[in-house]
């Protein structure tokens, strides 16, 4: 079964946490009276899993371990922190536009003023207002001098 | 009346005594002038007269000599005065010429020094002006460099202070449009990174 990754799970540490949880579940004989983590519950809901059994846990574990090894990661630096809803919306949008299993590491940097910086393993895409000002400081200086 | 007579008698007596005294004195003088002189006395008298004459001649001769000498001295004095005047004039002229020459030299030297000082002053002023211009330009360049280097930080801190924390919602559309416009590049980076 091909699992979908919920938008609430978006960084490698969550994947590793899920991996540990699923491994524990797999080693248990019975999953009764066990409180599942929110991430695991979300994973189950997203994939319409109503009951966790050994097979599903193994599949989920395999899926998560695959993601840990293969899921692409980006770092997104923002000037202000998005709320949970906005965060989920952004992650979903990024996975639609960029990659369905994209992992996102959010960094909040108020000095950016506005915009964002997206860092991948191969490059940096900077659309922050801070960088725009720094890049165009000569124009700004000229305007100040001319003024 | 009696007293008048007494007074007249007394006056007559006094007058008589006076007349007698005068007559006696007159005879004494006449006796002196008519006294008989001896040869010795005559010789002495002649000697006195000769001495007096000689003294008079000497005096006259001396006076003449003195006069001549005086004239000579006057002439010499005039000559000396004239010569001295000439010498003095020559010396004065010479000194004046030397003084004029020295003054001229001094003036020339002073003029040269003034010219040199003026020239040096002008050069120093020019140098100072150049230095001032250089320093001004340097300060201007430094100020511009400082502005240029710090303008972004200044603007960022200014915007951060004025705008405060821009809400995520306010920049959401910009974020999405920026990533949308560059999604191909991001995808390519991710594919190359995997």
Q: DSSP labels for B143-159? A: HHHHHHHHHHHHHHHHH
> Mean pLDDT in chain B?
84
Q: Check residue A104 and give its pLDDT.
A: 94
Q: Does residue A140 lie within any of the structural domains?
A: no
Q: Give the model's pLDDT for residue A105.
A: 94
Shortest CA gap B133–chain A (Å): 20
On the CB side of A68, CA atoms within 13 Å amount to 14
Portion of chain A with pLDDT greater than 70, in percent: 97
Please list every residue in chain B whose beta carbon sits closer than 8 Å to the beta carbon of residue A78.
Answer: 168, 175
Residues A116 and A81 in one domain: yes
User: What was the pLDDT predicted at A31?
Assistant: 59
pLDDT at B102 over 80: yes
pTM higher than the cut 0.80 = no
Contact predicate A75/A105, CB 8 Å: yes
**Mean pLDDT in residue range B66-92:** 85
CB contact under 8 A, A98 and B175: no
Nearest CA in chain A to B170: A114
Predicted pLDDT of residue A90: 94
pLDDT, average across residues B86-94: 84
Q: What is chain A's mean pLDDT, rounded?
A: 88
For B166, the closest of A79, A99, A145 (CB atoms) is A79
Most A CBs within 10 Å: which of B147, B152, B176, B183, as the mutation test of the A interface? Answer: B152
In a domain, A4, yes or no: no
Q: Looking at the structure, tell me whether residues A45 and A87 fall in a common domain.
A: no
Q: Which residues contact A87 (CB under 8 A, 6 or more apart)?
A: A7, A10, A106
The residue of chain B with its CA nearest to that of A87 is B168
- A36 and A87 housed in the same domain: no
A100 and A50 part of one domain: no
Check residue B99 and give its pLDDT.
86
pLDDT in tens, B141-189: 887 777 777 777 777 777 766 666 678 888 888 899 999 999 999 999 8
Residue A88 phi/psi, 5° resolution? -65, -45
Q: Is residue A1 part of a domain?
A: no
A83 with A131, same domain: the answer is yes
* Residue B101 in this model has a pLDDT that exceeds 80: yes
pLDDT of residue B40: 81
Q: Calculate the alpha carbon distances from B188 to A74, A92, B15, B182, B185 in Å.
A: 13, 19, 186, 10, 5
Window from A25-34, A51-60, A104-113, B15-24 with minimum mean pLDDT = A25-34
pLDDT average, residue stretch B111-118: 86
Statement: residue A50 has pLDDT above 80: yes
- Structural domain contains residue A141: no
Report the DSSP pairing between strands A103-108 and A116-119: unpaired
Q: Which residue has the higher pLDDT, A31 or B92?
A: B92
Chain A residue with Cα closest to B164: A113
Percent of chain B whose predicted confidence (pLDDT) is above 70: 93
Of A97, A49, A48, A107, whose CA–CA distance to A72 is shortest?
Answer: A97
The ipTM value here is 0.82
Q: CA A128, A88, B190, B173: dihedral to nearest 10 degrees?
A: -40
Shared-domain flag, residues A62 and A89: no
Q: Chain A residue with minimal CA distance to B151?
A: A137
Q: Are residues A53 and A92 in the same domain?
A: no
Q: Which residue has the tokens 């949008």?
A: A93
- Tell me, what's the pLDDT at B34? 64
Q: How many domains in chain A?
A: 2
pLDDT tens per residue across span B16-60: 898 998 988 888 888 776 655 677 888 888 888 988 998 999 989
The pairs formed by A133-142 with CB atoms below 8 angstroms and a separation of 24 or more are A133/B151, A133/B152, A133/B155, A133/B156, A133/B159, A134/B152, A137/B148, A137/B151, A137/B152, A137/B155, A138/B148, A140/B151, A140/B152, A140/B155, A141/B144, A141/B147, A141/B148, A141/B151
Range(s) of the domain holding residue A100 = 72-135
Q: For residue A128, tell me if it sits in a domain.
A: yes
Nearest to A120 among B171, B172, B189 (CB): B189
Q: With an 8 Å Cβ cutoff, are B166 and A81 in contact?
A: no
pLDDT (tens digit, 9 = 90+) per residue, A60-118? 999 999 999 889 999 999 988 898 999 999 999 999 999 999 999 999 998 888 889 99
In a domain, A147, yes or no: no
Distance, in angstroms, between A119 CA and closest chain B CA?
9
Q: Compare B29 and A125 and report the one with higher pLDDT.
A: A125
């Amino acid at each position: 079964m091909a699992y979908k990754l919920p938008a609430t799970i978006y960084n490698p540490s969550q994947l590793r946490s899920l991996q540990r949880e699923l491994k524990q579940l797999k080693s248990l004989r019975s999953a009764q009276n066990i409180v599942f983590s929110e991430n695991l519950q979300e994973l189950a809901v997203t994939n319409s899993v109503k009951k966790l059994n050994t097979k599903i846990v193994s599949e989920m574990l395999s899926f998560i371990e695959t993601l840990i090894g293969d899921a692409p990661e980006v770092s997104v630096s923002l000037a202000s922190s998005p709320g949970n809803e906005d965060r989920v919306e952004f992650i979903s949008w990024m996975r639609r536009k960029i990659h369905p299993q994209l992992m996102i590491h959010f960094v909040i940097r108020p000095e950016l003023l506005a915009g964002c910086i997206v860092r991948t393993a191969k490059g940096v895409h900077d659309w922050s207002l801070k960088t725009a000002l720094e890049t165009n400081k000569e124009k700004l200086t000229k305007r100040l001098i001319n003024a | 009346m009696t007293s008048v007579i007494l007074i007249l008698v007394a006056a007559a007596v006094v007058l008589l005594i006076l007349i007698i005294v005068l007559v006696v004195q007159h005879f004494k003088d006449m006796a002196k002038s008519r006294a008989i002189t001896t040869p010795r006395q005559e010789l002495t008298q002649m000697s006195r007269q000769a001495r007096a004459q000689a003294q008079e001649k000497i005096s006259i001769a001396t006076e003449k000599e003195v006069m001549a000498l005086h004239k000579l001295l006057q002439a010499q004095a005039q000559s000396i005065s004239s010569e001295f005047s000439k010498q003095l004039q020559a010396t004065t002229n010479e000194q004046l010429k030397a003084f004029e020459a020295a003054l001229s030299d001094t003036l020339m030297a002073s003029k040269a020094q003034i010219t040199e000082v003026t020239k040096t002053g002008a050069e120093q002023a020019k140098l100072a002006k150049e230095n001032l211009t250089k320093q001004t330009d340097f300060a201007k360049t430094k100020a511009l460099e400082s502005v240029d280097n710090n303008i972004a930080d200044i603007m960022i801190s200014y915007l951060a202070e004025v705008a405060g924390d821009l809400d995520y919602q306010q920049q959401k559309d910009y974020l999405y449009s920026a990533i949308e416009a560059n999604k191909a590049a991001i995808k390519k980076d991710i594919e190359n990174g995997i």
